[in-house]
Structure 1
């Protein structure tokens, strides 16, 4: 029970989430981090069982790093998302499913990507996506205001509005909003140069 959103922009990608962790009708935590940054170019937003999501992210992070070392260049966002989806699929086929839905967001040489991975291992790429118990409400906001030419700053505002709308009506969402922006590689390179000077 949560609300997460991902938005692709012309400058990168934006993820947003609420902070409430529910245990049935009990609020287990009001400060839960549902957005996990993998590196400067990739992050994952979590909806579902937190322990399953944390395990999947740890394994995917290690596997991703190992593949990059072996082949000598980084994985694309789609390859990283497929790695995570394959973990979910393997769990399902072993009758030990991971009860999570993840939004994988990142940037690579092709630009920004938002991919939704569910517990079956299915993977879909979207311009914007939402998951969790508050997602029907968040989608109402996303559908009404999204356009392909938005900036990261505009997407931050949209993500905040979408999660806030869900928090108004969904009891599984609440206690604040986290937003993460991942700029395109060109912007990341320029920022690193600026910091080194």
Structure 2
């Protein structure tokens, strides 16, 4: 029942994910952070099987941090997306594949451009202007397609995200009550009260 959204705009990427941790039909916790900060200008929203998501997110975070320690500079968003996709593809061919869907957002400090990557548990990777995972994507993708503007300032991007969350709350039977929202821009990753 995880729901996550992401949208790009003029110099930023917004990631949003619900904060509900569930087991079967039970809500276990309402303050789970499903957006992992990987480096100062890189974060990913993850969804899927609870054990897989946390383990894979920590594995990715530690390896990206190790790369930065060894090479004295962080991975750029495109390189990080390729490495994460390869890790998912390798796990798919093992005896214990990860069942994780990802939205990877980053700000490239060399080219001063935002990047958003959509990945699924099969190792599919594509760069997108906006994306969604979970049951909320059935309602949000059409709204994002209609209202997304790649040149929109941050306030307009947040307004489009608010439309998506309101539509999911209105139409989905099991609507998530709370979302965590993080923005990635030239200043790094920061959380926004929504």
Does 2:138 correspond to 1:136? yes
Q: Which stretches in structure 2 are left out of the alignment for 5+ residues?
A: 189-194
Query: Structure 1: where are the runs of 5+ without partners?
Result: 190-197
Name the structure where strand makes up a greater proportion of residues: 2
Give the alignment partner of residue 160 of structure 1, picking from 154, 159, 162.
Answer: 162
**Matched residue, 1:6:** 6
More helix by share: 1
Whether contact under 8 Å (1:3, 1:173) holds in the other structure is no
2:55 is matched with: 55
Question: Could you say which residue in structure 2 is the equivalent of 1:194?
Answer: none
Q: Contact 2:48 / 2:99 at 8 angstroms: preserved in 1?
A: yes
Q: CA deviation at 1:158?
A: 1.4
CA distance in 1, matches of 2:145, 2:177: 24
CA distance in 1, matches of 2:128, 2:153: 17
Moved over 6 A (4+): none
SS across alignment from 1:144 = helix
Q: Distance in 2 between matches of 1:172 and 1:21?
A: 13
Q: Report the Cα offset of residue 9 of structure 1.
A: 0.9
TM-score by length of 1: 0.86
The superposition leaves residues 121-158 of structure 1 with CA deviations (integer Å, 9 ceiling, x where unpaired) of 11111000001111111112211211111112221221
Instruction: Tell me the C-alpha RMSD between the 2 structures.
Output: 1.8
Contact map agreement 1:81 1:104 (CA 8 A) in 2:
yes
Give me the whole-angstrom Cα distance separating, in 2, the residues matched to 1:171 and 1:22: 15
Contact 2:4/2:134 (8 A) holds in 1 = yes
Supply the distance in 1 between the matched residues of 2:150 and 2:131 (Cα, whole angstroms). Answer: 13
